[in-house]
Amino acid sequence: MTDYGTLRDPNAEYTMRDLSAKTMGVRAKRGGGRDVEITDVQTTMVDGNFPWTLVRVYTDAGIVGTGEAYWGAGVPELIERMTPFLVGENPLDIDRLYEHLVQKMSGEGSVEGVTVTAIAGIEVALHDLAGKILEVPAYQLLGGKYRDEVRVYCDCHTEEEADPEACADEAERVVEELGYDALKFDLDVPSGFEKDRANRHLRPGEIRHKTEIVERVTERVKDRADVAFDCHWTFSGGSAKRLADAIEAYDVWWLEDPVPPENLEVQEEVTRSTTTPITAGENRYRVTELRRLIENQAVDIVAPDMPKVGGMRETRKIADVANQYYVPVAMHNVSSPVATVASAHVGTAIPNSLAVEFHSYELDWWEDLVEETVIEDGYVTAPEEPGLGVTLDLDVVAEKMVDGEELFDEA
């Protein structure tokens, strides 16, 4: 019988492909203040409209990088699990450290899912840290600027989410009072015509109801704003095609995630069946998965979620593939100001950036989490300060932490 107590410590070095500095022989001293080592990685979770996982990477130079992982159970534990793989490493080697973590966690699911998300949170913090060490903004690490400002689209909600007129009223309010010229509303809302939501089939009355929401909202804002509509992977292929066909007559920016994400062939068929622009991507991981969406022309617009899909450089890689097919990038985003600004740095550095989502306009303290202004008049201006260019307000972090969480150590 196997004595499991004698098995290798999971934190010990494997004989597998190891990309650590020691194994790779990356030991040369670096000039210009670049000879820096990681000493610790810490997380804390903030209770926003999602449980945001903030990440900090500490160094022996006293410089700290801040990042954020997409929300989800197990992310802090996975980051703690990976910390020994980072201690002693130079944080400037972002690509190698990313691949190092992917390799070390390969047996625990680093192809997709929450492990990729945890790695992404570290990767964002490394960009903030590297920018501070090199005294350049994070977008410079991604290749420089295509634009100074990144457009933001506001994910809108109303207490009467199934009422077409209430949606139109909220659209007008967000445009007129909050200054956004890009919006999104949900279409997977109750219509009163449902018989069985489990079968993914849309009855004629449901199609009429969703079309009415699209009609009222787009007619109300007209050319003052672009409007997208989200389905959250709810419908069958046939129903999605009928819905997309029904709204072709209206000025729809895009129809998002009309079918579940697993079956690429169905996604491709829906997209090719309509002139309504179709968007998907937030539920796929890394460039290896999103590449298939793009190369099969299964989307008109691709929507990776930066702190979920793998981080800033991985999103840049996705954008590069999309650019070969002339596909714009509209980044999904339900994050705090930290990952929102990080997404904007990516949007600054890629040619095909369309917009970055903002999902927290009803949360009046969202921007208080950092010391800087993030969104103005529906745009994020790319910070020129080193790193991400935002500073956590640790008093607000402490006030808004999830129960049982501990505040970060000081730098």
Per-residue pLDDT of the chain (411 residues; tens, 9 = 90+): 444 344 444 545 444 678 888 788 776 678 888 989 999 999 999 999 999 999 999 999 999 999 999 998 899 999 999 999 999 999 999 999 999 999 999 888 788 889 999 999 999 999 999 999 999 999 999 999 999 999 999 999 998 989 999 999 999 999 999 999 999 999 999 998 888 989 999 999 999 999 999 999 999 999 999 999 999 999 999 999 999 999 999 999 999 999 999 999 999 999 999 999 999 999 999 999 999 999 999 999 999 999 999 999 999 999 999 999 999 999 999 999 999 999 999 999 999 999 999 999 999 999 999 999 999 999 999 999 999 999 999 999 999 999 999 898 877
- The model's pTM is 0.94
Cα-flanking dihedrals φ and ψ of residue 35, to 5°? -90, 80
Name the DSSP class of 332. Answer: B
What CATH number does the domain located at 141-385 have?
3.20.20.120
C-alpha–C-alpha distance, residues 399 and 183, integer Å: 30
Residue ranges of the chain that CATH labels 3.20.20.120? 141-385
Which CATH architecture group holds 4-136?
2-Layer Sandwich (3.30)
Token pair for 365: 């303290």
C-alpha–C-alpha distance, residues 47 and 42, integer Å: 17
C-alpha–C-alpha distance, residues 180 and 51, integer Å: 25
Cβ proximity of 55 and 43 under 8 Å: yes
CA-wise closest residue to 153 among 287, 370, 347:
347
| 108-132 as b/e: b if 16+ CB within 10 A | eebebebbbbbbbbbbbbbbbbbbb
- Predicted confidence at residue 29, as pLDDT, reads 75
Residue ranges of the chain that CATH labels 3.30.390.10? 4-136
C-alpha–C-alpha distance, residues 389 and 136, integer Å: 10
- Predicted confidence at residue 28, as pLDDT, reads 64
C-alpha–C-alpha distance, residues 259 and 256, integer Å: 9
Token pair for 398: 């402490």
C-alpha–C-alpha distance, residues 235 and 199, integer Å: 8
C-alpha–C-alpha distance, residues 249 and 128, integer Å: 45
